[in-house]
């Protein structure tokens, strides 16, 4: 059953929904990247909550004109208008008053959502119109979605994706380095507006599938996840779009195949699973890589300190140090240096002595800044400089290799 | 409006609304000034999985397991946000977005998977709350306020919310100076030996207490609105923290009263049959207050009065 869903064997309607969700996930992943790079991820939270009053008012207007109020395009138009108004309020509050952007976001999201709830309760009291399914906008629902609805979503998600792809260069530049973008003649304010327009479009299209509370996740989680795998902006965009698409595809398929699995939460949790894997396993920025790096560094420090102790004939009590020395063949189990160990220890001591000398000499200040107890001095100074330093080492010069 | 109708039906929801508004607005003042306004948003989303898990474990809808579950979820969320921020080197806003959407999604999923249809636990309830239903059936009129028999029938939410408000007010009163100093000048607070990190954590915990207590009674949306709107409006009214807190309490109470009245009686006055969501209306009114403040309040602009800000807000 799950395999059927993943391979799009559940009928035309389910296939359309799954593909629509995938396109939406890709658009959200790509569009969200610019939001994330611009450090304005939570603005999307205000936008998504601000869609609710629009949905409610659009429903009421459509009922007032004699419809049953369930026309998806009508509802989404209402959502877009009120979300745009909410976005306007956020930017007005955060630029024209002394309130910070986070307060503006919080105020707009709570007040608009409150108004939307008032609207929903008004609708509940209404006798005409078919209100069933309006709650689907809160948490998303694909069950009972009409074929035409699925088509609307798939087409608008595809259009949004194309729009993002067309605008990706100016958007990348503006989110990566707004000052440079402005200096090179780009209208950053207009690019920002375009970015917000894309986020708005993704949000409005997505609320039927993911729900207005969880659409934020589709805009935030994929870019954050993608950031773990690469340092290049264009790769972040690509990976993020891919992850968003995969999460939405898998989530929508699972939800179509299994009863009682609401689409929105499943998509979000799939995305989070990708995030968790990346957080732990990503090659350079992941937790596992960081732990390994730390352990490697720790071993190098222990080995170095152990060699210095050997060179100075001090006993080694630290167990890890002793084990490392033994494994490298520098010491016997009782802590006595081997032939090779004595040579290594001598070199370590010489290196340390040279470092001590240049760190005391102000004329080597720049080189001395590289001292971390591990870097060999040959990497910082030229052979001539080292010869010069060596001439200052007083005889007897300790253990020689 | 006769007492016989007002006291049993409207007095307790109104009082609970006022308690919620004030309990959230007080810590909200500091959160807004510290640019942590969205913590209220995050907390109110993450308590859902906590409440659902508490229900799944105990099998009953009871106050204490739910409060504990919600508090546990809030703590997990704070820890997770901090862990993701540090381990992944991700900016706080994005880390918060990842955590609260995921936890909310988990809560919804658990709700749908478990059989909670027999009890009053669903997502709409968690979001909207049900302030209107917290009525005092044993009351017959104003005289019931002195009748111990009737008083025993008061909704427990009233006592719980009043308690939460008291906790928040006590915290604000006793930690006033440290809170004020560390909010405006964390560096200075640290140099005079103040432990600002535990204090910041305590502020978040107190906010969570207010949010969790309110969540059960009135839903999450009003909590977010009260954390932000009254303090933000108050911030535009004055440059002194003392005055700001006083204004925020006033605005919160006004929003609760007008919102409740507008929700309960407004539709009837307009000739509409049924009442609308009180929590939603209270949030809406708080937004109206903020909008008025943003348009006409004396200190709405930034910059210009920076000199005053400097001299007036130092302790």
Within this chain, do residues A258 and A305 fall inside the same structural domain, yes or no? no
CA dihedral A241, A245, A247, A253 (to 10 degrees): 180
Is A215 domain-assigned?
A: yes
Within this chain, do residues A36 and A122 fall inside the same structural domain, yes or no? yes
pLDDT for A279:
93
Within this chain, do residues A311 and A253 fall inside the same structural domain, yes or no? no
> How many domains in chain A?
2
In chain B the domains, ranked by start, together with CATH numbers, are: 3-313 (1.10.3470.10)
Per-residue pLDDT tens over the stretch B217-259: 788 888 899 999 999 999 999 999 999 999 999 999 999 999 9
Within this chain, do residues A323 and A187 fall inside the same structural domain, yes or no? no
pLDDT for B310:
41
Whether pLDDT at B141 is above 60: yes
Within this chain, do residues A213 and A161 fall inside the same structural domain, yes or no? yes
Inter-chain residue contact B32 with A103, CB threshold 8 Å: yes
| Separation in Å, CA of A139 to nearest CA in chain B | 8
Asked if omega into A396 is within 30° of 0 (cis), the reply is yes
Whether pLDDT at B61 is above 80: no
Within this chain, do residues A345 and A217 fall inside the same structural domain, yes or no? no
| Separation in Å, CA of B45 to nearest CA in chain A | 9
Compute the average pLDDT of residues B165-184.
93
The parent domain of residue A302 ranges over: 288-390
Compute the average pLDDT of residues B23-41.
91
Compute the average pLDDT of residues A316-339.
83
| pLDDT band, very low/low/confident/very high, at A223 (cuts 50, 70, 90) | very high
Is A19 domain-assigned?
A: yes
Is A273 domain-assigned?
A: no
* Among candidate residues A5, A102, A52, the one with its CA nearest the CA of residue B39: A102
Is A239 domain-assigned?
A: yes
Q: Provide CB contacts within 8 A for A96, sequence distance 6+.
A: B294, B301
Whether residue A102 contacts residue A42, with contact meaning beta carbons closer than 8 Å, is answered with yes
Within this chain, do residues A302 and A351 fall inside the same structural domain, yes or no? yes
Within this chain, do residues A177 and A239 fall inside the same structural domain, yes or no? yes
Selected residue with higher pLDDT from A132 and B43? B43
Whether pLDDT at B308 is above 70: no
pLDDT for B309:
43
* Among candidate residues B221, B44, B82, B256, the one with its CA nearest the CA of residue A114: B221
The CATH number covering residue A228 comes to 1.10.3470.10
Is A70 domain-assigned?
A: yes
Within this chain, do residues A243 and A145 fall inside the same structural domain, yes or no? yes
Within this chain, do residues A150 and A62 fall inside the same structural domain, yes or no? yes
| pLDDT band, very low/low/confident/very high, at B121 (cuts 50, 70, 90) | low
| Separation in Å, CA of B49 to nearest CA in chain A | 12
Selected residue with higher pLDDT from A396 and B92? B92
User: Hey, is the C-beta of A103 within 8 angstroms of any chain B C-beta?
Assistant: yes
pLDDT for A395:
65
* C-alpha span between B204 and B221 (Å, rounded): 18
Whether pLDDT at A399 is above 80: no
Inter-chain residue contact A107 with B284, CB threshold 8 Å: no
Phi, psi of A114 (to 5 degrees): -60, -45
Selected residue with higher pLDDT from B220 and B288? B288
- Out of A226, A245, A262, pick the residue that ends a domain: A262
* C-alpha span between A271 and B106 (Å, rounded): 12
Selected residues 36-55 of chain A with any CB under 8 Å from a CB in chain B: 36, 39-42, 44-45
Q: Which residues of A touch B283 (CB under 8 A)?
A: 110-111, 113-115, 117
Q: Which residues of A touch B294 (CB under 8 A)?
A: 92-93, 96-97, 99
| pLDDT band, very low/low/confident/very high, at A362 (cuts 50, 70, 90) | confident
| Separation in Å, CA of B152 to nearest CA in chain A | 32
- Region of residue B129 (left: phi > 0; alpha: psi -120 to 50; beta: else): left
Within this chain, do residues A256 and A337 fall inside the same structural domain, yes or no? no
Q: Which residue of A has its CA nearest to B80?
A: A276
User: Hey, is the C-beta of A217 within 8 angstroms of any chain B C-beta?
Assistant: yes
- How much of chain A, in percent, has pLDDT values that exceed 90? 39
Selected residues 287-306 of chain A with any CB under 8 Å from a CB in chain B: 287, 290
SS3 state of residue B109:
helix
Picking from A153-167, A207-221, B144-158, which range would have the lowest pLDDT averaged per residue? B144-158
* C-alpha span between B153 and B81 (Å, rounded): 41
| Separation in Å, CA of B220 to nearest CA in chain A | 9
Q: Which residue of B has its CA nearest to A122?
A: B276
Compute the average pLDDT of residues B278-302.
92
Compute the average pLDDT of residues B261-290.
85
- Out of A196, A227, A262, pick the residue that ends a domain: A262
| pLDDT band, very low/low/confident/very high, at B152 (cuts 50, 70, 90) | confident
* C-alpha span between A50 and A224 (Å, rounded): 24
**pTM (predicted TM-score):** 0.86
* Among candidate residues A298, A315, A307, A314, the one with its CA nearest the CA of residue A352: A307
* Among candidate residues A255, A247, A206, the one with its CA nearest the CA of residue A224: A247
Compute the average pLDDT of residues A320-329.
85
User: Hey, is the C-beta of A60 within 8 angstroms of any chain B C-beta?
Assistant: no
Per-residue pLDDT tens over the stretch B95-106: 999 999 999 999
Q: Which residue of A has its CA nearest to B219?
A: A114
* C-alpha span between A75 and A55 (Å, rounded): 5
Whether residue A277 contacts residue A228, with contact meaning beta carbons closer than 8 Å, is answered with no
- Out of A262, A279, A303, pick the residue that ends a domain: A262
CA atoms within 13 A on the CB side of A36: 29
Is A183 domain-assigned?
A: yes
> Strand pairing partners for A337?
A331
pLDDT for A103:
94
Whether pLDDT at A26 is above 90: yes
Q: Which residues of B touch A120 (CB under 8 A)?
A: 277, 280
The per-residue pLDDT of chain B, averaged, comes to: 84
What does the DSSP assignment read for A30-61?
Answer: HHHHHHHHTT-TTHHHHHHHTHHHHHHHHHHH
Is A124 domain-assigned?
A: yes
Q: Provide CB contacts within 8 A for B86, sequence distance 6+.
A: none
Inter-chain residue contact A97 with B277, CB threshold 8 Å: no
pLDDT for A89:
95
Question: Six-digit token pair at A234?
Answer: 């264009």
Whether pLDDT at B118 is above 60: no
* Among candidate residues A243, A94, A161, A329, the one with its CA nearest the CA of residue B98: A243
The per-residue pLDDT of chain A, averaged, comes to: 87
Per-residue pLDDT tens over the stretch A375-385: 888 787 888 88
Q: Which residues of A touch B87 (CB under 8 A)?
A: 279, 287, 290
SS3 state of residue A17:
helix
Q: Which residue of A has its CA nearest to B86?
A: A287
* C-alpha span between A224 and A222 (Å, rounded): 6
Burial class (CB in 10 A: 0-12, 13-18, 19+), A259: exposed
Within this chain, do residues A168 and A257 fall inside the same structural domain, yes or no? yes
Per-residue pLDDT tens over the stretch A225-284: 999 999 888 899 999 999 999 999 999 888 888 877 888 999 999 999 999 999 999 988
Whether pLDDT at A398 is above 60: no
| pLDDT band, very low/low/confident/very high, at B193 (cuts 50, 70, 90) | confident
Is A270 domain-assigned?
A: no
Q: Which of A39, A97, A265 sits opposite B109 (nearest CB)?
A: A265
User: Hey, is the C-beta of A188 within 8 angstroms of any chain B C-beta?
Assistant: no
Inter-chain residue contact B225 with A287, CB threshold 8 Å: no
pLDDT for B113:
80
Q: Which of A121, A125, A279 sits opposite B280 (nearest CB)?
A: A121
Q: Which residues of B touch A244 (CB under 8 A)?
A: none
């Amino acid at each position: 059953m799950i395999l059927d869903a993943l391979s799009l064997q559940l009928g035309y309607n389910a296939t359309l929904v799954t593909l629509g969700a995938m396109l939406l996930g890709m658009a959200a992943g790509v569009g969200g990247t610019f939001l994330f790079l611009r450090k304005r991820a939570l603005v999307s939270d205000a936008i998504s909550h601000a869609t609710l009053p629009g949905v409610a008012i659009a429903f009421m207007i459509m009922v007032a004109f004699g419809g049953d109020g369930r026309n998806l395009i009508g509802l989404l138009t209402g959502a877009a208008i009120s979300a745009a108004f909410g976005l306007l309020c956020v930017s007005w509050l955060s630029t024209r008053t002394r309130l910070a952007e986070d307060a503006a976001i919080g105020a707009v999201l709570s007040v608009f959502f409150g108004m939307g709830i008032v609207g929903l309760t008004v609708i509940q009291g209404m006798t005409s119109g078919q209100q069933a399914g309006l709650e689907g906008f809160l948490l998303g629902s694909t069950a009972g979605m009409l074929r035409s609805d699925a088509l609307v979503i798939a087409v608008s998600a595809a259009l949004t994706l194309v729009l993002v792809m067309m605008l990706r260069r100016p958007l990348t530049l503006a989110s990566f380095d707004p000052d440079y973008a402005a200096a090179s003649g780009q209208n950053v304010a207009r690019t920002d507006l375009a970015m917000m327009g894309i986020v708005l479009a993704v949000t409005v299209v997505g609320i039927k599938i993911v729900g207005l509370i969880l659409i934020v996740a589709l805009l935030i989680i994929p870019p954050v996840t993608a950031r773990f795998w690469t340092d290049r902006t264009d790769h972040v965009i690509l990976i993020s779009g891919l992850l968003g698409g995969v999460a939405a595809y898998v989530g929508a398929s699972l939800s179509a195949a299994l009863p009682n699995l609401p689409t929105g939460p499943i998509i979000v949790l799939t995305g989070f699973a990708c995030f968790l894997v990346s957080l732990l396993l990503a090659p350079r920025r992941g937790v596992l890589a960081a732990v390994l790096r730390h352990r490697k560094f720790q071993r190098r420090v222990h080995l170095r300190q152990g060699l210095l102790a050997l060179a100075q004939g001090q006993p080694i009590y630290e167990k890890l140090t002793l084990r490392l020395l033994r494994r490298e063949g520098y010491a016997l189990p009782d802590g006595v240096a081997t032939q090779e160990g004595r040579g290594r220890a001598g070199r370590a001591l010489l290196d340390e002595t040279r470092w001590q000398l240049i760190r005391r000499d102000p004329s080597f200040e720049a080189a001395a800044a590289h001292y971390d107890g591990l870097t060999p001095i040959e990497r910082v100074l030229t052979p001539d400089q080292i010869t010069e330093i060596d001439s200052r080492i007083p005889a007897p010069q300790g253990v020689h290799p | 409006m006769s007492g016989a109708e007002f006291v049993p039906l409207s007095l307790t929801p109104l009082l609970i609304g006022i308690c919620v508004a004030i309990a959230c607005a007080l810590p909200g003042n500091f959160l807004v000034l510290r640019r942590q306004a969205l913590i209220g948003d995050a907390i109110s989303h993450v308590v859902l999985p906590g409440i659902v898990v508490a229900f799944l474990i105990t099998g009953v809808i009871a106050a204490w397991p739910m409060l504990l579950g919600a508090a546990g979820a809030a703590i997990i969320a704070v820890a997770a946000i901090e862990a993701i921020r540090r381990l992944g080197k991700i900016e706080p806003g994005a880390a918060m977005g990842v955590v609260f959407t995921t936890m909310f999604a988990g809560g919804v999923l658990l709700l749908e998977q478990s059989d909670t249809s027999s009890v009053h636990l669903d997502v709409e309830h968690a979001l909207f709350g049900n302030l209107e239903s917290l009525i005092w059936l044993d009351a017959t009129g104003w005289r019931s306020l002195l009748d111990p028999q009737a008083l025993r029938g008061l909704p427990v939410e009233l006592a719980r919310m009043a308690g939460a408000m008291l906790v928040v007010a006590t915290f604000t009163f006793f930690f006033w100076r440290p809170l004020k100093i560390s909010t405006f000048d964390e560096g200075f607070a640290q140099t005079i030996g103040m432990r600002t990190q535990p204090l910041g954590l305590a502020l978040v915990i107190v906010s969570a207490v207010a949010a969790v207590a309110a969540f059960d009674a009135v839903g999450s949306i009003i909590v977010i609105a009260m954390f932000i709107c009254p303090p933000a409006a108050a911030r535009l009214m004055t440059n002194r923290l003392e005055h700001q807190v006083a204004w925020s309490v006033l605005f919160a109470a006004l929003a609760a009263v007008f919102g409740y009245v507008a929700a309960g009686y407004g539709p009837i006055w307009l000739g509409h049959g049924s009442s609308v969501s009180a929590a939603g209306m209270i949030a809406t009114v708080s937004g109206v207050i903020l909008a008025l403040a943003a348009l006409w309040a004396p200190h709405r602009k930034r910059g210009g009065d920076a000199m005053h800000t400097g001299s007036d807000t130092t302790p």
